[in-house]
Amino acid sequence: MLNALKWWWGILLAFSLLACLRLFAPLPFVNEVLLFSIYTIGCNFLLGRVGFISFGQPAYLAVGAYAAAFYLYYFGTNPYVAILLGIVAGVIVSLAVGPLFVRLRSDYFALVNLALTVIVFYLMQKVLAGITKGDNGLWFLANIASTPLLDISRADQFFIFALLVAVAIWAFYKYLDDTLYGACCLATKVNEDKLHFLGYSNFRIRLLAFVIANTTTALAGAMYAIYLGLVSPEIASPARAADPVVVTILGGAGTLYGPLVGALAYTGMKDVISKLIGNWELFIGFLLVFIMLAGEKGIWGTLEPRLTKALFRKRDVASATKGRASR
């Protein structure tokens, strides 16, 4: 019981804090942060655990989003089914392209994913314009049925849903880190030859990581679709392709809470900076360079060791005083 609590407390604390944020910040902001962090965690996993940098996450985001959108626009009304379909589509697409992509060297991997994003973008904008309505996008807000228990067609209840999903996803990724598989992922990043000699298949490890990460991204896509009630090719826009990478770096690549902190910082700063100086690119570009040159730890990667240190010191003091009091 105690162990379970110890394992969970970080995640629960993080998301309780986020839930508290709901009291101060506007609802769209917290929803945006949650969705963005779910969107980013896949990229974070690929970069931090497997050493693959992907400039093509929007492709998988769009896959999930369009799967949900097609269902809601043409076939059904249940948003939960739509999300499920988004996940399934994510698995199918990543299984289809994964075997080709994960064989590539990490530099080619980054570029090929970007290329996929471009393909998906034009596919949705031009080639399949008959079904996707091209640049106008699919509007289906009115089609989403209210669901019992948790009505995710409403923004406030969607927030609770997104929060629960995020907790589940974080627990899943934390669990992955604890398993042998998580160790293998890190090992392919550090030295694939050695791992190969140990009898593991780098290909399978990477493929699984690829599918896991991109399915999470597709899930984020489906959730975006429900939340916005509209999907347009803009979601796969190559111009936004680097956002998840930027957020990953901002938060701290490979850290569990990096994507959350990164998404919070990115979304927050974007609002503030755009209003203040109106030149968001200038700011984020130089911030990125600064983080990279300063040791690429990102916000959470820098804060975490200090926080734990501060916390543990406090706890030591606390237990010491408690000991004295009981005497």
Q: Under the rule (CB under 8 A), what is the footprint of other proteins?
A: 47, 51-53, 55, 100, 103-108, 110-112, 114-119, 122-123, 126-127, 129, 238-239, 241-242, 245-246, 249, 279-289, 292-293, 296
Residue 63 is encoded by which pair of tokens? 């896959």
CB of 245 to other proteins, least distance (A): 6
Q: Rounded distance, CA 203 to CA 186, Å?
A: 14
Residue from 257, 35, 24, 25 nearest 165 by CA: 35
CB of 130 to other proteins, least distance (A): 11
CB of 242 to other proteins, least distance (A): 6
- H/E segment holding residue 138: strand 138-139
Between 289 and 307, whose beta carbon lies closer to other proteins? 289
Contact 87, 157 (CB under 8 A): no
Between 25 and 253, whose beta carbon lies closer to other proteins? 253
Between 20 and 272, whose beta carbon lies closer to other proteins? 272
CB of 184 to other proteins, least distance (A): 20
Residue partners of 71: CB distance under 8 A and separation at least 6:
81, 82, 85
Between 72 and 253, whose beta carbon lies closer to other proteins? 253
Between 103 and 313, whose beta carbon lies closer to other proteins? 103
CB of 96 to other proteins, least distance (A): 11
Residue from 282, 305, 285, 281 nearest 293 by CA: 285
Residue from 24, 20, 18, 50 nearest 36 by CA: 18
